[in-house]
Chains A and B, each alone.
Chain A
Amino acid sequence: MKKSLILSIAIVVLALIVTGPLVANGQKEAAAQKEVTLNWPCIWVGEDAKASAVADIVAQFNAKYEGKIKVVIEEMPSYDVYDKKILAQISGGTVPDIFTLKWTPDTRDLYDSDILVDFTKDLAAGWGDSFDKSVLNEVTLNSQTKTIPFEIAITPIWYNKTLFEKAGIQGFPKTYPEFWDAAAKLKAIGITPTSQMTGGANAWTSMLWYSHIMASIGGPDVWDKPLSDPIFVQGAEILKKLYSDGNTTKDAIGGGPAIPSGHYLAERTAIFCNGPWFIGNIRKNAPEVYKVTELTSAPAVPGGKSGAQVGFIQTLLASGATKDPAKREAAVTFLKYMTLPENVKRISIESGALLAPKFTFSANDKVDPLQVKFVEAQKNASFIVSHFAGKFSASVVQEFGPALDKLALGKATPQEFVQMLQDANN
């Protein structure tokens, strides 16, 4: 009898341990039903140039919709980790309420699935007027728009005008033979010509350089060509030279994003490549370099096209599909709020980023001079092509850095470099 009693108590305790949290959770959910909470794993946090403006806009939204909608930012300060976390969440069946992603060939998989909110009808009902039609068309597949274009970019060549003048170089070289001459002059005064990197998720800075080189070789349709086309080897030969003869820093091999930017900000290198989102960083951390930075197009390869720029949709906003109409409505409400002209303008002015939703600067707005140079570089471009990472699958892009390691260290020829990329495609 006594044993049976103890046994019964033990079973009840065990049952409470197992089911208790579930019951408690259910009660919590019931209590929170009035307010829709939207979780946003967000990359624009910490030291990111958009962090402050985005945090304020979210706070304003939460205040405006108090008791109805609450956006909760989950801080994710690493771009490389962010993409993997989002994919892990998606594959685990818990797509975030709000998240950002890049426009790549793999984005098609997301469109083919039913895991994203389809904004087509919302955009057709007037929200679409907030965007250039061409940009919206670019993110529309099979008549469906499941992402909202937010950040656009061009990534011109940045150079330090003062260092160029010290080296006796008049203006930025227009062709690669002139470029190598200029590089020699910079080295003669103890300056490493270019900032490069092979590390990170896609060797970002060098991947952009390769995209510039390929644009000059292949023209506006360069990415329509398969990797087996000899032009990719031709481009790799120039990329290899950028890593040879002291044309970049020794720590570029294996270096992450902080290496090329750090050298440029410290005036150890004179040439850099990145997008407008870096304006906030250089303005804050290296104001002297910021003042003497000029933007231009990359040199043309002999016989190639000149004046091209590398441009693309950098960030898309998206929302995980839900069966709860209130949650869907809340997500659309928030995204509409994020893309309001005044909010977009604020983020653009504070960070220097170029944003897709339409807005206009007034005479009183303190528009960053470097941001103006970005707009001019975009206008002056003879043509604009996307970058390499935007046109090839994630596995090819991921192999770019390791293949570049081998190319730079002389362990792979330009042909083998391209072969590694082709193999990754299989």
Chain B
Amino acid sequence: MNKKTSNARWILLFLLPIVLLYTAFFIYPFGFVFFSSLNKWNGISHMKFVGLQNYVNLAMSTTFQLSIRNNIIWALSLGFLQVGFASVIAFILARKPRFWKGLRTVYFIPKVISGVAIAMLWKAVYNAEFGALNAILTFLTGHTWNVNWLGEFNSALPAIIAQEVMYIGYFMIIILAGVMAIPRSYYEAAEIDGASVLQQELHITLPVVWGTIVTSMTLAMAYGLRHFEATFLMTGGGPGHSTSTLAIMMYNKIGARKLGQASALGTVLVIIGFIVIVTLNSTLGRKSLTGEDT
């Protein structure tokens, strides 16, 4: 037996557990979801093959179109706004201003609090009758505000996204770790050359941690595409489906006992996620700003 064959066997052996697990917990379930998406099924009686009818029904549904739009808005908001804010804060904290350790903890704390508790808190803040936001705006402007932030078509989606985007702690920590690892000598050399703080951030920090930022954006956008929790808890997809996402729609289809359509939504969700992540990596992540592969 030559060394190459022997190595290949070892590689296969050590890959086997993960291949088995991946097959059991992703390939098989996804295969089942795809199969059931080709059937009419209420979850109780036998499946009836209907081909692509569930996909056709979805394509014609205005709620589906709204959900796709909302998922894209979520993905872009989290990918660019949340990670953008997280990057800026990480860059600032990496310069170790006063109380930077305390601030780092403060920014991260919401990430260890239950998402359910945070959603309930914001639901109270946005309440039309006794919410804190209306009270603050009334105090600041001098005239009465009683906007139903989560119950109006124009404000519901921005209100949910806004509360989510401001929790930057998770990505800030990831990016901060990357920034802190940059040797101090790079900045000292730049300072000697007369570079301003902004120039140092743009030409040293950003290129070096670009790979980390792209990874964060990928994670954030993946979360945006499968977003469920906050919307479900705060509006349930309302008013009138205006804040619905694919995951919410899928949940509702399960409740309506249309499991074939729910599976079709699941399949669409996986495909869209795949396309977005590949696109993101092939555009932003191909090369780091320093020219290295990421």
A395 and B257 contact, CB distance less than 8 A: yes
CB-CB under 8 A from A84, the residues of chain B are 251, 254-255
Q: Is the CB of A250 within 8 A of B44?
A: no
Asked whether A87 lies within 8 Å of B146 as measured between CB atoms, the reply is no
Q: Does B188 contact A (CB under 8 A)?
A: no
Contacts of B153 in A (CB 8 A): 409, 411
Q: Does A63 contact B (CB under 8 A)?
A: no
Residue of B nearest to A201 (CB): B255
User: C-beta contact mask, A172-208 vs B, less than 8 Å → 1, else 0?
Assistant: 0000000000000000000000000011110000000
Q: Mark B32-46, 1 if CB is under 8 A from A, else 0.
A: 000000000111110
How many inter-chain residue pairs (CB < 8 Å) link A and B? 111
Q: Are B13 and A7 in contact (CB under 8 A)?
A: yes
Asked if B162 lies at the interface with its beta carbon under 8 angstroms from chain A, I say no
Judge if A373 is at the interface, Cβ distance under 8 Å.
no
For chain A, give the interface size range. 35 or more
Closest residue to A404 on the B side, CB-wise? B240
Is B156's CB within 8 Å of the partner chain A? yes
Q: Is the CB of B240 within 8 A of A405?
A: yes
Contact of B132 with A by CB under 8 A: no
Residue of A nearest to B233 (CB): A256
The residue that A113 contacts in the complex, of B45, B128, B237, B256, with Cβ under 8 A, is B45
B66 CB, nearest partner CB in chain A, Å: 11
Q: Does A3 contact B (CB under 8 A)?
A: yes
Task: Tell me the minimal C-beta distance from B77 to chain A in angstroms.
Answer: 21
B239 sits at the interface (CB 8 A): yes
A383 CB, nearest partner CB in chain B, Å: 30
- The answer to whether B251 and A250 touch across the interface, beta carbons within 8 angstroms, is no
Question: Which residue in B41, B44, B152 is a CB contact (below 8 Å) of A409?
Answer: B152
For the complex, is A218 an interface residue (Cβ under 8 Å from B)?
no
At the interface, yes or no: A341 with Cβ under 8 Å from chain B? no
A25-33, A39-47, A104-112, A159-167: which lies at the B interface?
A104-112
A394 interface residue per 8 A CB criterion = yes
Residues of B within 8 A of A91 (CB): 41, 43-44, 259
Q: Are A253 and B45 in contact (CB under 8 A)?
A: no
What's the Cα separation between A83 and B236 when bound, in Å? 16
- Enumerate chain B residues within 8 angstroms of A59, measured Cβ to Cβ: none
Q: Interface 1/0s, chain A 1-37, versus B by CB < 8 A?
A: 0010001001100100110000000000000000000
Q: A254-B148, A409-B151 are in contact. List 18 more A-B contacts (CB 8 A).
A: A10-B13, A14-B16, A87-B255, A91-B41, A91-B259, A106-B257, A251-B127, A255-B151, A256-B236, A394-B255, A398-B256, A402-B237, A402-B240, A403-B240, A409-B153, A409-B240, A412-B240, A424-B256
B67 to chain A minimum Cβ distance, whole angstroms, is: 12
Assess the A109–B44 pair: CB atoms within 8 A. Answer: yes
Number of interface residues, chain B, beta carbon within 8 A: 36
Highest count of chain A CB atoms <10 Å: which of B153, B237, B238: B238
Name the residue in B17, B148, B156 with the highest tally of chain A Cβ atoms < 10 Å from its Cβ: B148
A286: interface (CB < 8 Å) = no
Query: What are some 15 contacts across the A-B interface (CB < 8 A)?
Result: A11-B13, A17-B17, A87-B254, A87-B255, A90-B44, A91-B44, A106-B42, A115-B44, A250-B148, A263-B129, A401-B238, A405-B240, A406-B239, A406-B240, A411-B240
Q: Would you call A249 an interface residue if the criterion is a C-beta within 8 Å of the partner chain's C-beta atoms?
A: yes
Closest to A109 in B: B44
A378 to B238, CA, bound (A): 35
**Interface check B258, CB cutoff 8 A:** yes
Measured CB to CB, the residues of A under 8 A from B are 3, 7, 10-11, 14, 17-18, 83-84, 87-88, 90-91, 106, 109-110, 112-113, 115, 198-201, 249-256, 263, 268, 393-395, 398, 401-403, 405-406, 409, 411-412, 424
B-side contacts of A252, CB under 8 Å: 151
Contacts of A263 in B (CB 8 A): 129
Beta-carbon contact of A14 and B17 below 8 Å: yes
Of all chain A residues, the one with the shortest Cβ separation from B63 is A402
B235 within 8 A of A: yes
B238 pairs with A198, CB closer than 8 A: yes
Contact residue among B13, B17, B239, B255 (Cβ-Cβ distance under 8 Å from A398): B255
List, in ascending order, chain B residues with CB within 8 A of A109's CB: 42, 44-45, 257
Whether B114 sits at the interface, judged by CB under 8 Å, is no
User: Could you tell me the distance between the alpha carbons of A395 and B43 in the complex, rounded to whole angstroms?
Assistant: 14
Instruction: Choose one: A10, A115, A198; the contact of B239 (CB below 8 Å).
Output: A198
A110 and B44 contact, CB distance less than 8 A: yes
Instruction: Give Cα distance in the complex from A370 to B42, angstroms.
Output: 40
Q: A10-B13, A90-B44, A405-B238 are in contact. Are A254 and B151 (CB under 8 A)?
A: yes
CA distance in complex: A213, B6 (Å): 79
Q: Are A87 and B151 in contact (CB under 8 A)?
A: no
Segment 17-32 of B: residues with Cβ below 8 Å from A: 17, 20
Question: Quick check: is B241 within 8 A (CB to CB) of the other chain?
Answer: yes
Q: Is the CB of A251 within 8 A of B255?
A: no
Specify which chain A residues have a CB less than 8 angstroms from the CB of B151 in the assembled complex: 198, 250-255, 405, 409
Collect the chain A residues with CB atoms within 8 Å of residue B257's CB.
Answer: 87, 106, 109, 393-395
